[in-house]
């Protein structure tokens, strides 16, 4: 396929925060296409309004300035420098992601589970330099409690409809409207 499409690869958009000469926080999202509406939605959900968005010359980024961002464009086509020299932070993060997928997961990452791997890498990367190591576990637990658990069956079969929820159980102390007492003197 021409452009930014491929039949055997997933299209992932990346946002990397510039923090002086280093990298701040990152965001990933697998997207169905590189159209302007898709990219604009990602930017609006991932980047603070008023931020400088430094992107390549891809036509999907043309209206970024009208979304409340300052838009800086670096056209890569026809340049002598490598893309990794012109947009170094994005290319470094993508390289680290690929190395992590190939090393840790031996490249055995299916399209079906890619979103979970991107989320895990983002979580680990954004917490690589915590001010307090003890808070890392606390934040993980806090995040785990804040979101609804995802059963293994839903991860393995995302298109399968979930089973209907059962009604809440009745208290064991109430059966057929009769109160049960463990204290024999209370029953007399």
Cβ-based neighbours of 114, under 8 Å, separated by 6 or more: 10, 12, 30
Domains, the chain, with CATH or none? 12-131 (3.30.420)
Give the C-alpha separation, 63 to 60, whole Å: 8
The mean pLDDT value of the chain amounts to: 82
Q: In the predicted model, is pLDDT for residue 67 greater than 90?
A: yes
Overall average pLDDT of the 21-40 stretch? 94
Name residue, tokens 């049960």: 180
pLDDT one-digit tens code per residue, 69-80: 999 988 877 777
pLDDT of residue 178: 47
Give the C-alpha separation, 48 to 104, whole Å: 32
Quick check: 75 and 57 in contact, CB under 8 A?
yes
pLDDT of residue 53: 94
pLDDT of residue 188: 46
**Closest-CA residue to 63 (of 89, 28, 35, 91):** 35
Give the C-alpha separation, 152 to 130, whole Å: 30
pLDDT of residue 148: 84
What Cα–Cα distance (Å) separates residue 76 from each residue in 3, 4, 83, 143?
A: 14, 14, 6, 39
Highest mean pLDDT pick, 93-97, 170-174, 175-179: 93-97
Distance of CA 170 to the CA centre of its chain: 39
Give the C-alpha separation, 79 to 82, whole Å: 7
Give the C-alpha separation, 110 to 39, whole Å: 23
pLDDT of residue 75: 82
What predicted TM-score, i.e. pTM, was given to this entire model? 0.67
Query: In b/e form, how buried is each residue of 169-183, taking b as 16+ CB within 10 angstroms?
Result: eeeeeeeeeeeeeee
Q: In the predicted model, is pLDDT for residue 177 greater than 60?
A: no
Q: In the predicted model, is pLDDT for residue 180 greater than 70?
A: no
pLDDT one-digit tens code per residue, 113-155: 899 999 999 988 998 886 677 777 787 788 888 888 888 888 8
């Amino acid at each position: 396929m021409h452009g930014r499409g491929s039949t055997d690869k997933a299209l992932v958009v990346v946002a990397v925060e510039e923090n002086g000469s280093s990298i701040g926080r990152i965001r990933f999202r697998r997207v169905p296409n590189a159209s302007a509406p898709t990219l604009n939605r990602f930017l609006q959900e991932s980047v603070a309004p008023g931020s400088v968005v430094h992107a390549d010359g891809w036509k999907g980024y043309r209206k970024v300035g009208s979304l409340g961002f300052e838009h800086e464009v670096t056209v890569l086509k026809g340049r002598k420098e490598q893309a990794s020299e012109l947009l170094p932070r994005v290319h470094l993060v993508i390289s680290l992601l690929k190395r992590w997928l190939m090393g840790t997961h031996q490249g055995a990452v299916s399209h079906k589970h890619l979103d979970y791997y991107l989320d895990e890498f983002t979580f680990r990367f954004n917490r690589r330099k915590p001010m307090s190591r003890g808070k890392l576990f606390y934040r993980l637990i806090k995040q785990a409690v804040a979101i609804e658990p995802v059963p293994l069956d839903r991860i393995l079969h995302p298109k399968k409809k979930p089973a209907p929820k059962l009604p809440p159980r009745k208290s064991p102390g109430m059966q057929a409207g009769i109160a049960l007492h463990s204290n024999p003197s209370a029953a007399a």
